[in-house]
Chains A and B, each alone.
Chain A
Amino acid sequence: MGHSMKRKEDNRFLQGKGNYVDDIKLPGMLHMDIVRSPYAYAKIKSINTEEALKVPGVVAAVTGKDLEQYNLHWMPTLMSDTQMVLPTDTVMYQAQEVVAIIATDRYAARDGKEKVIVEYEPMKPVMDPHKALDADAPVLRTDKEGKTDNHIWHWEVGDKEKTAEVFNNADIVVKEQMHIPRIHVASIETCGCVASYDKVDNHLTMYMTTQAPHAIRTVIALVAGHVGLTEEKVRVISPDIGGGFGGKVPVYPGYVIAIAVSFLTGAPIKWVEDRSENLQADSFARDYHITAEMAGTKEGKILATRFKVLADHGYTDASANPSKFPTGLFSIGTGSYDYGTAFMEADAVYTNKPPGGVAYRCSFRVTEAVHAIERMTDRFALEVGKDPATLRFENFIKKDQFPWKSPTGWEYDSGDYHAGLQKAMDHLDYWSLRKEQEEKRKRGELMGIGISTFTEIVGAGPSKDFDILGIKMFDSAEIRVHPTGKAIARFGTKSQGQGHETTYAQIIAEELGIPAEHIQIEEGDTDTAPYGLGTYASRSTPTAGAAAAIAARKLREKAKKIAAHLLEVSEDDLEWEPGKFYVKGAPGKAKTIQEIVFAAYTNHPQGMEAGFEATHYYDPPNLTFPSGAYICVVDIDNETAEIKVRRFVAIDDCGHIINPMIVQGQVHGGLTQGIAPAMYEELIYDEEGNILNGTLMDYLVPTAVESPSWETGHTVTPSPHHPIGAKGVGESPTVGAPPAIANAIVDALSPYGVTHLDIPITPFKVWKVMKEKGILGGKPV
């Protein structure tokens, strides 16, 4: 623990030996390409595949009508809504799948796709979620019997009346409308699969870019059990994955079509998306319109918050959330501050946009919540005329107030918010920066400093509240130690770059004293790994990491019994130090773990079960609550409005750190995925429903030039309930960085009456505000 061990998985990636889904080639494999809708909302009048089938190499064309015969044209979403696999009569968003072309190679499939003729009758789409509930808005989900509007669900938490009362009586109330834009994970590997159904054995092997292979297997069995694909006949293999970030949690229509076609033909079917298909049709993230309010005293004490959300879900709610949490963990939005009153509500609507609601490196809508609370904290500080750092110090939940009950019902496990912010400020010499800013303002130069001191909520989750499609959100580890003292361990999670092969080995090494190099880690094959819910929402270390520690501790208990037997002493006389048991007071009288394991196979005590294996399914007693203190310094060109992030320091607290190198790497990466939506990324649609930036030429993923040189550090406040005190970290930076950047930019412009800007904050957006405020070219304050 605490050692920056180099990653065990790196060698294969570095030498071109990674095994990603598009690298899989099976004998007789056919390729699938998909014809997509050019319209956001249209009736399908006819589909003609005649010419397509004449293209050399094309073997089949599949439409919604074909799937309808097997009742496979619709599928359930994770949120118990329904989604088309292929449409039979209506398309609901641009780039929706319409016809699948199967061919002997991908070039032929592409040629076949070109020849498909689909006749559409376009209709006026609903693109603005604010208008989706208007009386004259067309009802989009006419497939749902009795549906009379585009409302999906209403959700609320907190005390509405009490909150209203506090707001009515408060000295100060601040309010902003904000939009957390629709964005896309854009992992560098797109999504894909090879579905391989063996007609002789009636067995499906599904190689698939999925973050949750076990859940997928169950879903396949539930959906296709009636045609013989019962769960023991389905094997899902998640090979190496080129980045997930939540985008590889959902089941996309392409996967289902591939399975259906393989099932019918007996041939393996490969489907790998193009980038534009990935950006235009796969699950989006965010898209929350938030009315955020904060009430407080004129001295700067926060008293209450009230958030009202309008959630644009596209044409179906295909969010990847735990079942009971339609807004995910948005209710963490009271943040790191000590106040007792809050009310939050949300309404979700259908529009003619692609479905989704996935993470983008975020634990279930925490980013939206953190953006709202951190923006409003700065807004409030501005209103009361206090430095935002000072105001935060005065409102933080104090270290000794943990465990702390939030007004929305969470129990924060631990934290030391003062220490984190102080460390970040000391590193930057915060008050000198404020002085520099004061000087610059006198000269009309624009410099801003933004803070974000967020609380995350990860490690879903305790079985009493957390499930996906009814399956509780535990996770698992199985450790098998071979006679010579080397081990293999398998998990229900699935790394997409997080370094599980190293981190898990380190946890087991720490608990058992077997060197991490001698512990092989496997994930992603449902035939061999124990059942688990997968990797997303920063849950792997909090759940499977805990399972690894506990399974190892079970083995240590067994080791103790064997050691006592071998040393002919009582168990009570033994002491453990990593790697061996020794007799108290006689350190020379000892048995190493290797000797003990060998004995488990060769000389185990009578009555004891032979072998050296343990499995644990870990059901966390609570979530973990990592936190962070981020400070961003920006300079804005007062003519072009170009924004330069000069400094960015991130102090994270994720409890005990297993591998500092990997944790830091996660933070770096998450920060770049934080600056991305803050300054660059947004999926943009016109009124007709056309996506305006559906390729990487216009969907602006930051390069090494846009990404600043991150400065990172940590404080360590262990989780009291996690077996090794760890909390999870992968998403903290993506959650915490956007408000720090937005706060910095707004701070630069605040002397001129700017109180809020929606992300992504682009030079164009800033320039317009500067023009409106008459400060182009610089206006001394």
Chain B
Amino acid sequence: MKKNITITVNGTAHTAEVEPRLLLVHFIRENLKMTGTHIGCDTSSCGACTVLMNGKSIKSCTVLAVQANGKEIKTVEGLAPQGEMHPLQEGFKENHGLHCGFCTPGMLMRACELLEKNPSPTEEEIRWGISGNLCRCTGYNNIVRAIQWAGAKMRGEETPSSEPEFV
């Protein structure tokens, strides 16, 4: 039996009649055609599908769309107005925090909550904080730097140099 749901995504309310088994990630990608949120695994291991639900980062492949009924969802498309960049997006670009880009939206949304809860995280805290997001390309060093850079910017401080550091 289908259920009627209303989910606010990036500030816009969407009402739909859906099968209860519809996964939130499919609601976002297929119903709303917002394809920035990706799917990388079946077992909630990779974090590519991470979005914010009422401000908390969650894996949208392991949440039913019906569970998000009445809630606020934020996806990568909602981080900043079209064509503009959130400090995290800027930080990832400045510090080469992405290669293929597939894990990036999930990584950004996770980092978003991480900085919200802990505006000035240590490297160790960042590494544990993004431990639910797999990246196969970057080796994580520059993702850590990107989040630190964004943290500084969001705190209103001078951002650290984004030039690569070599031995």
Contact = CB atoms under 8 A, between A and B. Distances in A.
B40 A240 contact: no
Contact of A705 (B22, B79, B131): B131
Contacts of A6: 93-94, 96
Contact of B77 (A16, A668, A707, A710): A16
Contacts of B76: 14-16
Dominant secondary structure at the B interface: loop
A322 interface: no
Interface string B100-134: 11111100100000000000000100111011111
Given A15-B77, A669-B137, A695-B42, A23 B35 contact: yes
A672 B103 CA distance: 15
A9 B102 CA distance: 13
Interface in B21-44: 21-22, 26, 29-30, 33-43
Contacts of B98: 10, 13-14, 497
Nearest to A242: B102
A668 B140 contact: yes
Given A276-B42, A497-B100, A665-B99, A671 B139 contact: yes
A649 interface: yes
A3 to B, nearest CB: 11
B45 A16 contact: no
A704 B43 contact: no
A670 B139 contact: yes
Contacts of A245: 136
Given A15-B77, A704-B144, A664 B164 contact: yes
B43 A709 contact: no
A166 to B, nearest CB: 38
B77 A669 contact: no
B167 A20 contact: no
Nearest to A701: B134
A498 B94 CA distance: 16
A186 B77 CA distance: 26
Contacts of A230: none
The winner among B39, B40, B82, B142 for most chain A CB atoms within 10 A is B40
A22 B100 CA distance: 15
Contacts of B94: 6
Interface string A22-35: 11010000000000
Given A15-B36, A189-B40, A276-B42, A665 B93 contact: no
Contacts of A242: 38, 40, 100-103
Given A18-B101, A107-B19, A665-B138, A7 B166 contact: no
A187 B99 CA distance: 12
A651 interface: yes
A275 B44 CA distance: 11
A395 interface: no
Contacts of A275: 40-43, 45-46
Contact of B104 (A14, A19, A185, A190): A14
Nearest to B86: A14
B40 A10 contact: no
A481 B143 CA distance: 36
Interface stretch (A485-493, A517-525, A619-627, A711-719): A711-719
Nearest to B126: A704
Contacts of B135: 188, 669, 704
B139 A707 contact: yes
Contact of B93 (A14, A704, A711): A14
A503 interface: no
A11 B35 CA distance: 15
Interface string A655-679: 0000011101111111111000000
Contacts of B48: 188
Contact of A696 (B26, B43, B144): B43
B157 interface: no
B36 to A, nearest CB: 2
Nearest to A499: B99
B141 interface: yes
A701 B139 CA distance: 11
Contacts of A240: 100-101
B117 to A, nearest CB: 17
A14 B108 contact: yes
A400 to B, nearest CB: 26
Contacts of B13: none
B104 to A, nearest CB: 5
A695 B43 contact: yes
Contact of A665 (B26, B79, B96, B127): B96
Contacts of A16: 34-37, 75-77, 105
Contacts of B99: 243, 497-499, 665-666, 669
Nearest to A697: B43
Interface residues of B, number: 65
A703 B33 CA distance: 30
Contacts of A695: 41-43, 45
A17 interface: yes
B142 A660 contact: no
Contact of B85 (A14, A241, A709): A14
B34 A188 contact: no
B46 A696 contact: yes
A255 to B, nearest CB: 19
B97 to A, nearest CB: 9
A427 interface: yes
Contacts of A701: 45-46, 134, 136
Contacts of A499: 99
B163 interface: yes
Interface in A208-249: 240-243, 245
B134 A703 contact: yes
A621 B8 CA distance: 59
B71 to A, nearest CB: 20
A14 B37 contact: no
Contacts of A661: 96, 163-164
B128 A705 contact: yes
Nearest to B82: A15
A496 B139 contact: no
A714 B166 contact: yes
Nearest to B22: A107
Contacts of B96: 6-7, 661-662, 664-665
B36 A22 contact: no
A22 to B, nearest CB: 7
A436 interface: no
B139 A188 contact: no
B140 A672 contact: yes
Interface string A429-469: 00000000000000000000000000000000000000000
A671 B136 CA distance: 10
B140 A13 contact: no
Nearest to B128: A705
A10 B93 contact: yes
Contact of B142 (A11, A25, A668): A668
B80 interface: yes
A661 B93 CA distance: 11
Interface string A172-193: 0000000000000111111000
Interface in A22-70: 22-23, 25
Contact of B164 (A107, A660, A670): A660
Interface centre among B82, B103, B128 (most CB of A within 10 A): B103
A423 interface: yes
A660 B98 CA distance: 15
A13 B75 CA distance: 13
Top 4 A-B residue pairs of the complex, sorted by shortest distance between their CB atoms: A16-B36, A242-B102, A13-B101, A497-B100
26 contacts: A11-B85, A13-B98, A13-B100, A14-B89, A15-B83, A16-B76, A16-B77, A17-B36, A18-B101, A107-B21, A188-B100, A188-B134, A189-B40, A240-B101, A243-B137, A275-B42, A275-B45, A497-B137, A660-B164, A672-B139, A673-B139, A695-B43, A696-B43, A696-B45, A703-B133, A704-B128
Given A275-B41, A665-B99, A712-B166, 7 more contacts: A10-B101, A22-B39, A243-B102, A661-B163, A668-B142, A707-B127, A714-B166
